[in-house]
Amino acid sequence: MSLLALPPEIFTLKTKLESFVNDRCIPAETEFEAHIEKFSGSDRWSENAIPPVMKELKREAQSLGFWNLFLPHPVPSNLIDTNNSVGDIPVVPKKYLSNREYGILCEVMGRSALAPEACNCSAPDTGNMEVLLKHGSAEQQSRFLMPLLQGKIRSAFLMTEPDVASSDARNLETKLTKIIEGDGKVKYILNGRKWWSTGAMDPRCKLALVVAKMDYSHPSCAAEREKQQHSDDMKKKRGYQTVVIVPMPHPGVKCVRPLTVFGYDDAPHGHAEVSLENVELDASAVVLGEGRGFEIAQSRLGPGRIHHCMRAVGLAARCYELMLERTSQRQTFGKFLYEHGSCRELIADSASDLESARLLTLACAEEIDRLGARGARDKIALIKVTVPELTSRVVDRAVQIFGGAGVSGDFPLARALVGLRTLRIADGPDAVHKQTLAMLELKKAKKRALSRV
């Protein structure tokens, strides 16, 4: 079966989605940006700064059946009515998609920065919803998952820290101090500093998933300290990591400053440096259990990398198409650009890179469907390293063809290049994933060698 093959029902959905993205989302980008430009300073993260056109696109996406297409498996029946809705909002798609099928739709959504949010399929919300769906308690699902699925709120994921190399999660210094009170009740005190906390400053953000290191230094936790000292997992430091839900806004959570990515602040969603000071939480805030943070973070990233990579392919494809148009519109030295051999070489290389990125990612998605994320670790690491580089090369060539216009704000090329370059750092830098890929390849080679003995 072709990696691009779709059942008739999903092919029809894809065709409708293409029309929505090309005819509604892409034209709305100018209006979206113009609205945000009316605001400055902290006002760029206010309710008023949220462009009205996004609400219009969301209503349209709901009515067309594009809402929550990312959902990997059914929502618990106690959370929805018989029409798969909550009130008048259809929170469950008509058909659950495989990772490969959804990946193909992700490429379509990736053509516009507005489309994923319009379909309630944007990061970090999709990853957070998957965590709550897979690992959340009934209370956590009711309180946080359902409003996210309805699109009534947004969320943030706080992991990266400014003072340590956070690509190694064992380095994290944010502490979750456990205290067992006299009546046996448990409370936690969260302290630390995070940055690149995407969505934390968004006025719609009502929860943050925070990765922290367990701290059993309080006198009431003598038994936990003893257990910690004798645990093999703790010796590897993986057992320290825990994920907690912090309701937002919270008096102990302070957004210190917005961060810019090559000068872009990405308001009104954006990225923030965040201070966590004596954030008091009860036992209901812990996701899955103490020491399960590494497991949660890994389960969150497998399908998420398919989403990121296929959106990158969609964005690069849009830039590639703009490049092709440009070559037939501009002339140099008496010829159209496409008539020059050097330009044809750029086109050929870009077509090759684009198709390679697409097929590598869909092959990975198909393997996740067959073997699960853990069984496809090598392919996940492979696309995380390769696809951002391949798609960046496509956009970089488009910039070159456009010349000065390519680095201006008049076309989406410059911003696309920034986003794809950043993707080589987000969710872990290339070097970490290359190390993972090499270790898995060496392990397979050793196994083959032993089988021949």
DSSP string computed for 146-168: HHHHHTS-EEEEE---TTS-TTS
Tokens of 140: 């956590």
pTM of the model: 0.94
Which residue type, as a one-letter code, is found at position 205? Answer: C
Task: Give me the percent of the chain exceeding a pLDDT of 90.
Answer: 85
Residue 82 pLDDT greater than 70, yes or no: no
Task: Give me the percent of the chain exceeding a pLDDT of 70.
Answer: 96
What stretch of H or E contains 278?
Answer: strand 271-282
Residue-level pLDDT at 383: 97
DSSP letters for 315-326:
HHHHHHHHHHHH
135, 296 Cβ separation under 8 angstroms: yes
Q: Read off the pLDDT of residues 289-305 as tens digits, 9 standing for 90 and up.
A: 999 998 887 777 788 99
- Angle between helix 8-20 and 99-109 (nearest 10): 20
Residue-level pLDDT at 239: 61
Residue-level pLDDT at 72: 85
Q: What is the dihedral of CA 297, 300, 301, 304, to 10 degrees?
A: -160
Q: Read off the pLDDT of residues 218-274 as tens digits, 9 standing for 90 and up.
A: 999 998 888 877 775 554 555 689 999 999 999 999 999 999 999 999 999 999 999
Residue 439 pLDDT greater than 90, yes or no: yes
Beta strand 205-215 with 154-158 is parallel
In this prediction, residue 154 has a pLDDT band, given cuts at 50, 70 and 90, of: very high
In eight-state DSSP terms, residue 408 is S
191, 276 Cβ separation under 8 angstroms: yes
Exposure string (b/e) for 180-196, b if CB count within 10 Å is 16 or more?
Answer: beeeeebebbbbbbbbb
Residue-level pLDDT at 128: 95
Q: Read off the pLDDT of residues 224-240 as tens digits, 9 standing for 90 and up.
A: 888 877 775 554 555 68
Beta strand 253-259 with 271-282 is antiparallel
Report, as an integer, the average pLDDT of 189-217.
97
Q: Cβ contacts of residue 380 below 8 Å, gap of 6+?
A: 301, 302, 305, 364, 368, 373
Residue-level pLDDT at 401: 98
